[in-house]
Structure 1
Amino acid sequence: MAKKGSNPASSGDASRPRRIVFTRDATGLVREVSIKDAFMIVFSLVIGGGILFLSVQALQPGYFPGANLSISYLIGLIFVLPLYMVYAIFSRAMPRSGGDYIFVSRILGPGLGFVASWGVWISTLLTMGILSYQAISFISYFVMQFGLYTWNPSLLGWSIWLTDPIWGVIFGITLVLIFGGFLIISLKASLWLIRVLFIIPLIGLLAIVWVLSTHSPLDMVWAWNNIFGWGATMDLLPGAFGDLFRVAFAFPVQYYWLSYYFNSLNGTTGATLSAVVIAMFALGGGYSLSLIGGEVRDTRRTFYLAMVVSIILIAFLYVALLYPLQSNWGEFIKLYDFLTYTKDPLFGMLWWSLPQFSGELSWLSGWGSMLSKDTLQYWILYGGWLYAGKIPTPLPASIPLFAAPLAGLNWLGLFIIGAGALWLINSITPMLFTSSRYIFAWSFDRIMPTKISTLSERTTTPIYAIGVSMLVAIIGIVLSSISTVQAAINAVFLGILSIVLTVVAGILFNRRRKDLAERTYNPKIRGVPVITICGVISVFFAVPLILGALVTFNTGSILVIVIVYLIGAIIYLYMRRRNRKAGIDLSEIFRNIPPD
């Protein structure tokens, strides 16, 4: 006899009509996410490494050194808006946990829906692991600046030790355990945490906009040297700021630098259009709000406001950051990128991170008995690394790296750096929250063991779905400490397959599932469904995103993609066969939207 509330399979009697056999008659999830919460979740999911790191790192050799980033990001907004409209319409029509998995599986087929969402689930959790791992670079910078602010040499030493990969792993795992624990204990507590971790870094981001908009290009000379040391070299460009130029114009680096610089002046239009790929990545992620559709209170307004309106606000916030930054210090950033990320072994990182080989650098005067407050900054940046037995490396190029010195060696500069770290950290809870609903939805549809969709009787949270997601995220943190693996899985992070299939599902929604289209939300313009119009537009706009992903392909990337999706296909085929043996026809499940 079946337990109360269960939805048992048919016993196999051919005369008995088939029954829909979801794991149970209702998901049991509670609609606790308000419009304000949805806004904060989208902001937390979208703002992160795509703007703080990739925007300024896109100017490095081999990428888009001549790009006008503000224009690139505005074009990127135009490209992603139709895509967000597709997700918003689908989310209102089918507001259930699982998002694009539900859309694709109900329209194009369960196999495609599962395999595509499986790839996104893996890539999202691995991305979350990398973000939490990389947050340690901001924390190292924060500790260094706080050590200079308080004049505490022990903290300066810690800023070096924190760059060790083991600290990134420890820090990332700790964050996942804490935030995942919050999600398991209480969704309300997690939503409160999301609010706090949204407001603080948002204030920091607005502070960066203010700092960048109120300083001139010459201010960077004083600001940079105030943090990284004035040294003793008296030149037109003194101190650490001038050292960048002295290295760039030293033999034989000068030939590479001048070639790179003049090439960046040509092909500006092409570089700007090419950088749209970076912008689309930086504006992505908000689609994941659809994954928690079954827990959103106001499904009529939330998805339009939180997805479409939010992404417009975020894009203009990006431009408010990038325009003054590139207008005033674009050449300095290109120089920093050139010296930091050039991969030729004869120059680039070697010259920048081991400057003791060049007698032209002002920091050399700080050795021995001449160490003082300003030259100690040089010692900690270079000599301190050697003292610690580690190879020195430059700080990763980021917006907070260039904005914090302009704020000064004070609490505001520290706050800006801390806000940068929080923008990476505050994505962990929303990512765990949304991605865990993938595996919950699979389990509810019986493509994963039904135990995974079990809810805690006390907290009504899917503890097993969250726990499995935490485990994969921890694996991502460990893998992110291995650069070759990180590079190999970058192509998977974009979730191209799921995005493309969702767009195709939007185009075919009214043809393939007319029954669903007629009884769900389906706005039209002169008889043509809006979701079809947006889907067709998105197909053309998705081309640069696909091409951008192909550029990153190498043997490792292809191997990872094949393995990830092959595992997903095997799981689906196995579970389909297992359900058939149990007398459960999955096709009956996928003809219907899951119960609320």
Structure 2
Amino acid sequence: MENSKGLFVRGSTGLVREAGFVDAVSVNVANMSVGAALGTVGFTLASLPTVSGVNLVAASIIAFTLSIPQIITYTTLTKHIPRTGGDYVWLTRAFGAKLAWLVFGLALGFVIESLVYYSLIAIAGVDQLSLILPLLGVNIAITPVESIVFSIALFAIIVAVNIMGTKYGIRLMTGLTLFSILSLILSFLVLFLTPRVKIIEAVSSLLPNGYTYSKVASQYTGPYFALGPTIMMLPFFAIYIYPWLNAGPAMSSEIKGRRAVSLNVPTAALLTMLLATIGFTAMYHALGFNFVTAALSNPSINGTVNYWTIAMAASSNPVLAWIIGIGSVTWNLAILAYGAIIVVRYWFAMSFDRVLPSFLTYLSPRFGSPIYAHLLDLTITSILITLAGVFYGTFTALYGAVVEALLYYMAIGAAAVVIGIKGAGLMSLSKPGKAALAVSGMLQAAVMGFLTYQFLEYPSIWGGNPLAYGVEAAAVLIGIVLYFVSRELNRRRLGIDIALTYTEIPPE
């Protein structure tokens, strides 16, 4: 029942603990998008000024190492402040009432950035489907309009499952993620165990006319590793993989068991690092460093040759090819399935604080799900999918929108420093624990600052354009305006200053 006089909409969220440890790890793995990263890395390599010395295995390990402070920060805060909305709650409570307007704007911008990403992933999933079907003997051409309609339909089905019950949405996400991981492991076995001669013969059939394996491999003459060019790839991993640890924490109040709450972030981060690093290693092992680097960085080739098509061609087995091919698509579906769960948790938390309309916290008596929050998610994402399909020139056109997410994660690092130094009345930690949290927060903020610099310094590579930056700047400004409007409305109608909600931890 809604409380018209309390700081929060009601005395408890009403959400039920439906997620186990495997679910919590799966939602983080889906969030970290390793399957999509393996399939699209060629588009980024083709944009670099040089690929000489770019080693994807080394880049993955370096990126993971730089994410360790964030892993510590998120693990600590999730363990001690497990609430719906996760890092949104930590950020707003650390900075309190005075900066509530700014941090809410950052948080809303982060959510909108996530929706932009999901719209691109939806279209990328359909594109991947159109790419693998001919390899499976199914020749179907998908037009741009059909791609938009199909993408929206896929997301609508996922949202409908979540509306029918949170547990069904969680099971769908976990099932898609586990199948995707299985397909990836099978692809590892194919690429590591199949003789290179057979893989070269199979992959040669994917090359455009006029290209051969030896001709492509001979186009690369650089070293196996150079630090500078490899560091240039870090923003790619920031777009897809290592900073994206917020999914489990955002639904932490719905996770069963303290150990599952505490361990889901580091477990998912380590598992994802292994999957990504082994994936890049498998490509190099199967086809050689020179060929992989030259092929993936060649725009004439990387439209048909990527990690997944290589593994499918190398399998030489229709059943394996189907499993691997379907897995390449379910990685994208898993991202959409996790997004349908997690973005709604942010809408819910913001509404629970009375900043967004309270109807977004409504739980269906029949299904027990936040039905209106899901419908809002579907509406906005459908609009973005349509805009992405009609107006965005390439898949990388909105990479630059990730800058807002990096600034958000930088702010989370700063929030961890505040909590670690001042305590902020939010959690009880020993002095060494507070010091460790403050240090990890500072390092996290520094890493995010460096990644932001890379994005802004090389806009032509990372989608830095007025469209990408404009979308996120507008989202932050809208968030700030919404906060002030909501504050005034709540003050007039209920006599409540919503700034005070940011001084208290919300109920579970």
C-alpha separation in 2, matches of 1:528 and 1:425: 39
Which residue is 2:45 aligned to?
59
Q: CA deviation at 1:292?
A: 1.0
Deviation at 1:515, TM superposition (A): 2.0
What SS does the corresponding residue of 2:355 show, helix, strand or coil?
A: coil
Count, aligned residues: 494
Q: 1: distance between equivalents of 2:126 and 2:105?
A: 33
Residue 38 of structure 1 and its aligned partner are, at CA, apart by: 0.5
Deviation at 1:146, TM superposition (A): 2.2
Task: Normalising by structure 2, report the TM-score.
Answer: 0.90
Is the 1:22–1:445 contact (alpha carbons within 8 Å) kept by the matching residues of 2?
A: yes
Partner of 2:499: 587
1:411 aligns with one of 314, 319, 331: 319
1:244 equivalent in alignment to 2:211: yes
Report the counterpart of residue 110 of structure 2 in structure 1.
120
The answer to whether structure 1 residue 571 and structure 2 residue 482 are counterparts is yes
* Aligned counterparts of 1:124 and 1:593: Cα–Cα separation in 2: 25
1:95 aligns with one of 70, 82, 98? 82
Distance 1:516 1:287 in 2: 19
Quote the offset at 1:88 in angstroms: 1.9
What is the aligned partner in structure 2 of residue 204 from structure 1?
A: 183
1:248 Cα deviation (Å)?
7.1
2:412 partner letter: T
Q: Contact conserved, 1:138 with 1:418, CA < 8 A, in 2? A: no
Deviation at 1:421, TM superposition (A): 0.6
TM-score (norm 1): 0.77
Other-structure match for 1:268: 226
Instruction: Pick one of 454, 459, 465 that aligns with 2:362.
Output: 454
Distance 1:92 1:422 in 2: 30
Of the three residues 493, 496, 505, the one matched with 2:402 is 493
Q: Give the aligned partner of residue 82 of structure 1.
A: 69
Residue 14 (structure 2) aligns with: 28
Counterparts of 2:298 and 2:245, CA distance in 1: 34
SS at 2:211 equivalent: helix
Alpha-carbon distance in 2 for matches of 1:198, 1:47:
10
Question: Do the aligned residues in 2 keep the contact of 1:72 with 1:272 (CA within 8 Å)?
Answer: yes
The corresponding residue for 1:296 is 255
Distance 1:568 1:463 in 2: 22
Equivalent pairs: percent with the same residue? Answer: 21
Letter in 2 for 1:542: M
**Residues 489/564 of structure 1: CA separation in 2 closer, same or farther (3 Å cut):** farther
2:264 equivalent to 1:306? yes
- Taking a change above 3 Å as real, the CA distance of residues 590 and 338 of structure 1, as seen in their structure-2 partners, is closer
**In structure 2, what residue type is equivalent to 1:179?**
I
Amino acid at match of 2:319: W
For each residue in 1:113-145, what CA deviation from the matched residue of structure 2 results, as whole angstroms up to 9, or x when unmatched?
311111111111221121121111222233212
Deviation at 1:409, TM superposition (A): 5.4
Residue 165 (structure 1) aligned with residue 144 (structure 2):
yes
Structure 2 runs not aligned, ≥5 long: none
Q: Which moved more, 1:457-466 or 1:554-563?
A: 554-563
1:559 corresponds to which residue?
470
The AA in structure 1 aligned to 2:260 is T
Counterpart-to-counterpart distance in 2, 1:247 and 1:453: 60
Q: What's the counterpart of residue 383 of structure 1?
A: none
Q: In 2 relative to 1, CA 277–303 (structure 1 residues): closer, same or farther, beyond 3 Å? A: farther
Q: Does 1:139 align with 2:146?
A: no
What RMSD in Å do the two structures reach over aligned CA positions? Answer: 2.5
SS at match of 1:30: coil
CA–CA separation in structure 1 for the residues paired with 2:224 and 2:176: 42
User: Is 2:425 the counterpart of 1:515?
Assistant: yes
1:134 touches 1:168 (CA, 8 Å); kept in 2?
Answer: no
Cα distance between partner residues in 2 of 1:478 and 1:592? 39
User: Partner letter of residue 323 of structure 1?
Assistant: T
Offset, 1:437: 0.9
The answer to whether the Cα contact below 8 Å between 1:39 and 1:306 also exists between their aligned partners in 2 is yes
Shift of 1:425: 0.8
Q: Secondary structure at the match of 2:503?
A: coil
List, as ranges, runs of 4+ consecutive aligned residues in structure 1 with deviation greater than 6 Å: 246-249
TM-superposed deviation, 1:74: 0.8
Aligned letter for 2:276?
Y
CA distance in 2, matches of 1:92, 1:528: 13
Contact 1:88 1:308 in 2 (8 A): yes
Contact 2:418 2:424 in 1 (8 A): no
Give the 3 Å change call, closer, same or farther, for CA 423–524 of structure 1 in structure 2.
Answer: farther
Instruction: Tell me which moved more, 27-36 or 302-311.
Output: 302-311
* Partner SS state of residue 515, structure 1: coil
Distance 1:318-1:171 versus aligned 2 partners, 3 A rule? same
Partner residue of 1:316 out of 268, 271, 274: 274
Q: State which drifts further: 396-405 or 425-434.
A: 396-405
